[in-house]
Structure formats: C-alpha cells, structure tokens
Chains A and B, each alone.
Chain A
Amino acid sequence: MAEEAITESPDTVAGDGVRRRDFINIAAVSAAGVAGVAVLVPLISQMAPSADVLAASSTEVDISAIQPGQAIKAVFRNQPVFVRNLTPKEIAAANAVDISSLRDPQTLEERTLAGKENWLITMGVCTHLGCVPLGAGEGENKGEFGGYFCPCHGSAYDTAARIRKGPAPKNLEVPEYAFTSETVVKIG
C-alpha cells in the first residue's frame, strides 16, 4: 500500500512533474522575499521629512517697511528667503544683460510677478552647496554684480539673483509666492 502511494505520486500536481514540496519551497521563499522588501518601505521612508516638517512650509511676510534698495531675510522651511525691493537702476542693470550669456538663462520678468517687477523674492540658499549668500543685510558684500555674494565658494549673483560667476550651477531659486495684499506676501 505504501509503495503504491509513492508510485501514485501523491505529491505531484496534476501529473506535470511539479512536486508539492517544490511549490511550497517557491511559495515560501517568494513570500519571505516580498515581506522582506515590504519591511524596507517603512524603514526607508521614516527618514523622509515628517508631517510636521511638511506642515510648517508656508510663511507670510510683511513687506511694507522695505524701501527701494533694501532687502530683508525671512524664514521659510527653516531656510532664509530674501525679499528685495529693487531700485529702477537695479532693474535696468538686470534687463541690460544678454540672456544668452547666462549660465542659467532667465529674464528678470520670469523671476518676478507681473506688475511687481521690483519685488525680487528668492531663497537665500546658494545653489552650490547651500550657504546663505551675503547682500541682503545692510552693508554686506553684494559681490561684483551688485546682487548677492556667497562667501563659502565665491559665487556671485546679479541684481536679478542670477548666477554670474563662481561654482553655483543655478540662479537663486524663486519659491512659490503670492501677494495676499499690497503689503503682505505669502511664501509657499
């Protein structure tokens, strides 16, 4: 009887030569593999910005006190953001530049809102390695192009905060923002 049971091969499925044991092997290893990958998901994604960090990602700035030629540093996502009131001379200087000669070609118009061309709002984070460029504070070095100058590795930005010299690859980033009134800007 026992011999008969073996030759009848109770552990093959539908006679195609696949043993039940093979099936269990493959199923178990596959399940363990999928489970192993699934375990990685929370372990890796826990390192991404958490909900409270993401929630604190918009800032309102009162710009009423900023005179032409002045700039302030505001805080947005724990990083500085420069709000600058450009003088007509600075606007003219930015518009006089040949766009095709720039590393990251953009016009001043593309970097400001329509009708608010004098308000240049950019992140105060050098696009090279993230230092805070000088030039927003009173009496700080604005660099040879009259905008911002990064002391870390010598990147110089012009009056439209475009990269002109040094290792930084991009213009200072323009964050998303909107004027909620004549004197208040909501960043983010």
Chain B
Amino acid sequence: MSFPWAKHYTPTHPFMQWMDEKLPLPRLVYNSVGSGYPVPRNLNYFWNFGFLAMACLMLQIVTGIVLAMHYAANQAVAFTSVEHIMRDVNWGWMLRYAHANGASAFFVVIYIHIFRGLFYGSYKAPREMVWLLGVVIFLLMMATAFMGYVLPWGQMSFWGAKVITGLFGAFPVVGEGIQQWLLGGFAPDNAALNRFFSLHYLLPFVIVGVVVLHIWALHIPGSNNPTGVEVKSESDTVPFFPYYIAKDGWFIGAAALVYCVFVFFMPNALGHPDNYIPANSMSTPALIVPEWYFWPFYAILRAFTSDFFIIPAKLMGVLAMFSAILVWFFLPWLDRSPVRSSAYRPLYRKFFWFGLIPAVLLLGYCGGAHAAEPYLMLSQIGAFYYFAHFLIILPIVSAIERPDPLPFSITEAVLGSDDNALLGTAEGSPHDTPAPAA
C-alpha cells in the first residue's frame, strides 16, 4: 500500500505497543496521514485542497449537528425556528452563518480540487478509482446541499424544491409518480421537508464513508504531482508528516481568513434575499435560481428550449444536466493520452484554458441570470462546447497531440538532476560536489 522506503510504525511506549496488538488504529493513522505515507516532494498549493475539503466536511458536520439541536423540521415552524436560531439561540447567528457559508466554501474548495484533477490528469491510470469515487462524493454533496437549502422553508427553499423535484416529472410515464413519491404529496409540504431533513442529516456521514474509500484508493498508487511523472525513488518523496501536515495546516489558516471575511462581514452575499420570505405555494419569486454552485448545471438545464426529435425540450434539458456530471465517470477512458500533467500537453492545455474553463464560467454566469436572450443562446453555446470538450475534443487531442519531453523523475524536475539529490547529507552542499576541472 505504500512505497518500500515508507517508514514503519514502531511504538515505544508499552501502552502503544499493547494498543498496536489489540487494535492497530494508531498504525493506520501513521500510515495514512503520518510519517508512514511518502508523498511527492514537488506538490504545489493545488494539492492542499483535498485536505481542505476534509476540513470543510468536518466544519459542516459539526455546525450542522448543533444547528439540528435548535431547528424544527415542520412546515408550520421551520422558518420561525431558523429565525429563533438567528435571534435567540446563543451564538446561533454565527453557527448558522458558518454553516451556510461553509457550504459555499466547501464547493469552492471542491471545484478547485476537481480543477486540479482535470489539469494535472489525476483521473488517469492508476488513479481511475480515486476519480470515480470523487465524482460520487460530488453527487452526494450536491444532493446534501440542495436538501439543506430547502430546510429554512423560505421562498427559495420551497420553489427550489418544487423545480428540482419537477425535474423527475420530465421522465415519460413514470415521471409524475416518481415526483409524488419523492415529495410525499402533490407539491412540497411537510412530508417533503421532514424527509429532506432526515436525509440532509444522513448524507454527510455517507460522504465520510466514501471519502475513506477515496483516500484508501488514493494511497494504493500514492498521490499524483505537478509533473505527472510517477515516483521512482525515495528522493522523489517526503513523508506526509511533518511536511504536508505543516503545509496543509498553514493553508487551512489562510483559507479560514477568507472564509471568516464572508461569515462575519458579508454572511448573506452568496444567498438570496427571497429566502428570508416564508414559503408561499401561491406565489413564485420573480427569479428562481439555485445557489451559485449549481449555476453551470442549471444553465445546461435551461439551454434546451425546443424539442429534439421525439424528445421534449424539458426531458432533454434534464438528461443533459445529469449527463454533464455523468460524463465525468467516463473521463479516464475518454482521455487516452498517457501523459498526465497539462504542463507537458501543449494542445490539451490550450483547449483547457481557452475552451473548457471559459465555457464553464459562461454557463455559470448564464445559470444565475434571467431565462431570456441573450443568456439562453450563450447557455446553448456553452453547453455545446462543454459536451464537445469531453466527447469530441478530448479523444481527438489525446490521439494527435505531441507532448513535450517529460523529466526523468520528480527529483530531476525539482533539482535539475538526480545527482543533486543527496539523502542524509546536506543537499547541494558545495563540499559534496566535485570541483570543476581547472
């Protein structure tokens, strides 16, 4: 499960020795996030976002559990109980703002984490399973975030629930039945609110379970790195503890500063004012949009405005929206290039920076805008390019591209030559290098 030079866990204290015999939990920690896990020495800051995502998940679970002690999942009092948290519960305002902005923070981190995987080819063999489990985590996160947003039972909560469950109504024959089954009624009501609360509490723990699998699968081949070249020798790695624990710890502090600016100085900047109006099934808000992290997918949903052969526009939009994520499951096999890192893929890099990234940003912008021209046409262009990137451009580019020469090893990429890597001695010490011939 690790490289041969990984340090071995050797407890010295008799209690730890006893513990290691009965339940080797400290050994597991040591080998997973301790000195027993060698990591490429050249990771850049993009590699901090996995650890940061874990911190976000913990933040959401801790704040969520305490909020659940004060929240009431009943259609008659849910809105009031949230106001009770905001006004009456000790520190309630902070806990709720921490949780609401924590969701946004989690998605920022996870989008950068996904971006990292896409740019440096972390989804490729031998890490396909890491990627697939990551997509599962992302889907679970989306479901959890959506159901959490319904709980305050404001206008956006209610109409968000109605529109999203309405998606399932698009399927022919069985659609309406599925929608009523999901809601437990004909429209979102107490039954829907209750089950959303139940699942919103459950799913984070399911996410924790899949995260364990994600990390387990990662630790079999070990972490990718900015060169995409696999680890060859001990000089290519440093132990996770203390090197990356220290770096991750520092980075969490830096990220927390940005997060705290939102929590304490603009806690509602990412929300919608309409959600401070109690749910009203008789009146739709003028503009229904989901939270910002769903905008690109919402734009794809709305991009289909006319029927596509025999498939109605509505069903087509729903299928396209789900496919936009499902296509990620096929990514390790759509990109056939053996070179992982975009740093050595000149052609892919151009399509990535000037194609995929602008397309996703454009979709995100359109998803938050009114469903009118020119946003619909821009959404259509963005959606077309998005799918074309994965299904057409990526397979062709990976077949015709001539990658730049790769460094021999991580050490060579970092130090210029493997000869400069002198383990156990002062690195690059002038005494160790032969004097140039006079």
Contact = CB atoms under 8 A, between A and B. Distances in A.
Note whether A and B form a binding pair. Answer: yes
Interface of A: 44, 47-50, 53, 57, 73, 75, 77-80, 103, 124, 128-132, 150-154, 166-169
A105 to B, nearest CB: 14
Most chain B CB neighbours (cut-off 10 Å) among A57, A79, A152, A166: A152
Closest 6 CB pairs of A and B: A129-B166, A130-B166, A77-B186, A169-B312, A132-B284, A131-B284
A47 B282 contact: no
Contact of A49 (B167, B191, B195): B191
Contacts, number: 85
A78 B185 contact: yes
Given A131-B288, A153-B302, A49 B184 contact: yes
B408 interface: no
Contacts of A131: 159, 162-163, 284, 288
B354 to A, nearest CB: 30
B163 A48 contact: no
Contact of B281 (A44, A49, A80, A129): A80
A154 to B, nearest CB: 5
A49 B188 CA distance: 11
Interface residues of B, number: 36
Interface string B179-219: 01111111101010001000000000000000000000000
A77 B314 contact: no
The SS class assigned to the A binding surface is: loop
B186 A168 contact: no
Contacts of A80: 281-282
Nearest to B317: A167
Contacts of B314: 128-129, 167-169
B169 A130 contact: yes
A152 B284 contact: yes
B189 A78 contact: yes
Given A131-B159, A167-B314, 6 more contacts: A49-B183, A49-B186, A49-B191, A53-B185, A124-B282, A150-B284
Nearest to A166: B305
Interface string B25-47: 00000000000000000000000
